[in-house]
Amino acid sequence: MKPFTALFGAAAGTHSADQLALATLPLTATLVLGAGPDILGLLVAAQSAAWLLVTLPAGAWADRASRRALLIVGLGLGLAASIVAVIAAAAGITALLGIAAFVGASGTVVYMLTAMSLLPSLVPAADLPRANARLELARAIVSLAAPFVAGLLAQHLSPTWGYALAAAGAAIALACIIALPKPPAPGADDHRPSMVAAVQAGARFVVRHELLRAISLCAIFWNFAFFALLAVWAPLALDLLELDPASMGLAQSAYGAGLILGALIAPISSRRLPPLATLIFGPAVSVIAAALFLLAPSVGGFAFAAAGHFLVGFGPMLWLICQTTVRQLVTPATMLGRVNATVQTAIYGVRPLGALAGGIVAAQAGLQAALLLIAVSFALSTLVILLSPLARLRVLPQPAAA
Report, as an integer, the average pLDDT of 84-96. 86
Give the torsion through C-alpha atoms of 377, 379, 385, 387, to 10 deg: -110
pLDDT, tens only, 232-252: 887 888 788 888 867 777 887
Measured CA to CA in angstroms, residue 32 lies from 27, 39, 86, 390 at distances of 8, 13, 11, 50
> CA quadruple 281, 284, 290, 292: dihedral positive or negative?
negative
pLDDT at res. 128 = 85
Considering the chain, what percentage of its residues have pLDDT values greater than 90?
24
pLDDT at res. 191 = 62
Report, as an integer, the average pLDDT of 267-283. 92
pLDDT at res. 218 = 94
Report, as an integer, the average pLDDT of 169-179. 88
Instruction: Annotate 237-267 with DSSP letters as a single string.
Output: IIIIS---HHHHHHHHHHHHHHHHHHHHHHH
Whether 105 contacts 48, CB under 8 Å: yes
CA-based nearest residue to 322, from 278, 280, 284: 278
DSSP classification of residue 393:
-
pLDDT at res. 183 = 63
pLDDT at res. 192 = 67
Report, as an integer, the average pLDDT of 306-331. 92
Residue 215: helix, strand or coil by DSSP? helix
DSSP classification of residue 395:
S
pLDDT at res. 38 = 65
pLDDT at res. 37 = 59
pLDDT, tens only, 8-63: 888 888 888 888 887 787 778 777 777 765 676 677 777 777 877 888 888 888 88
Report, as an integer, the average pLDDT of 85-111. 87
Q: Which residues contact residue 177 at a Cβ distance below 8 angstroms, ignoring those fewer than 6 apart?
A: 6, 7, 10, 68, 71, 72, 75
* Domains (range + CATH), the chain: 3-178 (1.20.1250.20), 201-391 (1.20.1250.20)
Q: Which residues contact residue 53 at a Cβ distance below 8 angstroms, ignoring those fewer than 6 apart?
A: none
Residue 277 reports pLDDT greater than 90? yes
pLDDT at res. 88 = 85
pLDDT at res. 189 = 47
Please tell me the distance from the alpha carbon of residue 198 to that of residue 156, in angstroms, as a whole number.
49
pLDDT at res. 265 = 92
pLDDT at res. 288 = 96
Report, as an integer, the average pLDDT of 245-273. 85
pLDDT, tens only, 184-211: 544 444 566 777 888 888 889 989 999 9
- For the whole model, what pTM was predicted? 0.79
Banded model confidence at residue 221, pLDDT cuts 50, 70, 90: very high
